Amino acid sequence: MLLRDTIQTAHRAIVAHRMRSLLTMLGIIIGVGSVVLMVSVGRSFERYILDQVESFSNNLIELYPTGYEKFGRTLDSVTYGDYEAITGLTTVKSVAPVIFITEKVQYGTEELSPNIFGTTSNFFANYGLKLGEGRLLSEADEKAARSVTVLGYEAAEDLFGQRSPLGERVQIGSRSYTVVGVMQSVGSALMQDLDTFVFVPFTTARSATGQKELSYMTMQAVEDDELALADVTLLLRQRHGIDNPENDYDKDDFRARSAEQATKIVGQVTLGLTVFIALIAGVSLLVGGIGIMNIMLVSVAERTREIGLRKAVGARGHDILLQFLIEAVTLTLVGGSIGIIGGMTLGMILAAAASKYIGYVPFVLSFPALLAAVLMALGTGLLFGIVPAKKAASLSPMEAIRWDK
Partner 1 sequence: MAKQNPPLIETVDLCKSYFNDGMETPVLFDIDLTIREGEFISIMGPSGSGKSTLMHILGFLDTPTSGSYLFRGQKTRVLHDDELARIRATRVSFVFQAFNLLPRTTVLDNVILPLLYHPTIPASERTERGMKAIEQVGLTERATYFTNQLSGGQQQRTAIARSLVTEPDVIFADEPTGNLDSASGIQVMEVLQNLHSKQGRTIVLVTHEKTTAEYAERVIHILDGRIATDTRDFKRNHAKNVKHLK
229 contacts: CB under 8 Å, gap ≥ 6: 61, 221, 256, 257, 258
Q: Which one, 9 or 204, has the nearer CB to partner 1?
A: 9
Bridge partner list, 111: 106
Per-residue b/e over 352-371, b at no fewer than 16 CB within 10 Å?
eebbeeebebebbbbeebbe
CA dist., res. 82 & res. 240, Å (int): 9
- 69/404 with CB nearer partner 1: 404
Burial classification of residue 271, based on how many CB atoms lie within 10 Å of its CB (0-12 exposed, 13-18 middle, 19 or more buried)? exposed
| Interface with partner 1 (CB under 8 A) | 1-2, 4-5, 9, 12, 16-17, 305-306, 309-317, 319, 396-399, 401
To partner 1, the closest distance from the beta carbon of 358 in angstroms equals 52
Q: How far is the C-alpha of 91 from the C-alpha of 316, rounded, in Å? A: 82
As measured in angstroms, the least distance from the Cβ of 23 to partner 1 is 16
Whether 64 and 195 have beta carbons less than 8 Å apart is answered as no
Of the pair 16, 144, the CB lying nearest partner 1 is at 16
**Going by C-beta distance under 8 Å and a sequence separation of 6 or more, which residues neighbour residue 357?**
none
CB of 354 to partner 1, least distance (A): 46
Question: Measuring CA to CA, which residue among 57, 77, 81 is closest to residue 242?
Answer: 77
**Nearest approach, Cβ of residue 394 and partner 1 (Å):** 9
- Residue closer to partner 1, measured from CB, 139 or 399: 399
Asked if 214 and 78 count as a contact pair (C-beta separation under 8 A), the reply is yes
Q: How far apart are CA 312 and CA 307, in angstroms?
A: 8
* Buried/exposed 112-125: b ≥16 CB within 10 Å, e otherwise: bebbbbbbbbbbbb
**Min CB(398)–partner 1 separation in Å:** 4
CB of 311 to partner 1, least distance (A): 7
The minimum distance between CB 11 and partner 1, in angstroms, equals 13
